[in-house]
Amino acid sequence: MSKTLVIGASGQIGKMTTKLLLSQQQHVVALVRDKSKLNDIENSNLSVVEQDLEGDFSQAFTGCDQVIFAAGSGGSTGADKTILIDLWAATKAANYAKDHDIKNFLMVSSIGADDPDAIESELKPYLVAKHMADEHLKQSGLNYTIVRPGTLTDESASMQVTTQRPNSKEDAKISRENVANSLAHIASKPPGEKAIFELFDGDQVISSL
């Protein structure tokens, strides 16, 4: 039975993904900095590790065979947290995964992380951090799936997505529920080929990913 470590399990995507994995009878280790944020989940397949990602969180990987990195510094913090979480914690997570012989690493990256120079916006430092974390994972030797969602929304899950970037920027969005369902679906399959793709609301059923 697979055991998945969800990093950022108190976040919006992380928590939805945790609940979906548990509903599939999977074992989950939830890594959070405040375990009270998971008080509403009661499940014997869930164990919670309380640890700040700015410290050493290697212990959480013990006994896990899969990792989902869904943490992020968020839009209300500064460049220091972008470096410490989006870049450095993600980089450490890949290193710990390698040390613990993790079979599959799912990274929640971002649209634009492939080429941060392509846009001039205040998001550039964040996209550079995401880009470098993705590059580190790609070079780690781990089996990985890097998912690069478009702008996140709080719509309900349509359960339909596309990996093709829409022509208009306004359509380059995806609900957090669709991202979480996509992650839970990918995590429920045996590890496949290494993969990187963008993800948007679309017309392809998630189960075909």
Ligand X SMILES: NC(=O)c1ccc[n+]([C@@H]2O[C@H](COP(=O)([O-])OP(=O)(O)OC[C@H]3O[C@@H](n4cnc5c(N)ncnc54)[C@H](OP(=O)(O)O)[C@@H]3O)[C@@H](O)[C@H]2O)c1
Binding site for ligand X (CB under 6 A): 8, 10-14, 33-34, 37, 52-54, 70-74, 85, 108, 110-111, 149, 151-152, 176
Nearer to ligand X, 12 or 91 (CB): 12
Q: Report the nearest approach of ligand X to the CB of residue 190 (Å).
A: 25
Handedness of CA 117, 122, 126, 127 (dihedral sign): negative
Helix 12-23 to helix 176-188 angle (10° resolution) is 40
CB 151, min distance to ligand X, A: 4
Between 153 and 204, whose beta carbon lies closer to ligand X?
Answer: 153
Task: For residues 155 and 202, give the distance between their C-alpha atoms in angstroms, rounded to a whole number.
Answer: 13
Q: Of the two residues 52 and 114, which places its CB atom closer to ligand X in the complex?
A: 52
| DSSP sequence for 74-137 | -TTS-HHHIIIIIIIIHHHHHHHHHHTT-SEEEEE--TTTT-GGG--STTHHHHHHHHHHHHHH
Nearest residue to ligand X, by Cβ distance, number only: 11
CB of 81: closest distance to ligand X in angstroms?
A: 7
Q: Which is nearer to ligand X, 25 or 120 (CB)?
A: 120
* Token pair listed for 117: 């120079």
User: Of these residues, 96, 126, 144, 200, which one is catalytic?
Assistant: 126
Tally DSSP H helices, then E strands, for the chain: 5, 11
Active site (annotated) includes residue 144: no
Q: How far is the CB of 205 from ligand X (least distance, A)?
A: 22
DSSP three-state, residue 12: helix
Q: State the DSSP H helix or E strand holding residue 23, giving kind and residue range, or none if neither.
A: helix 12-23
- Residues recognised as catalytic: 126
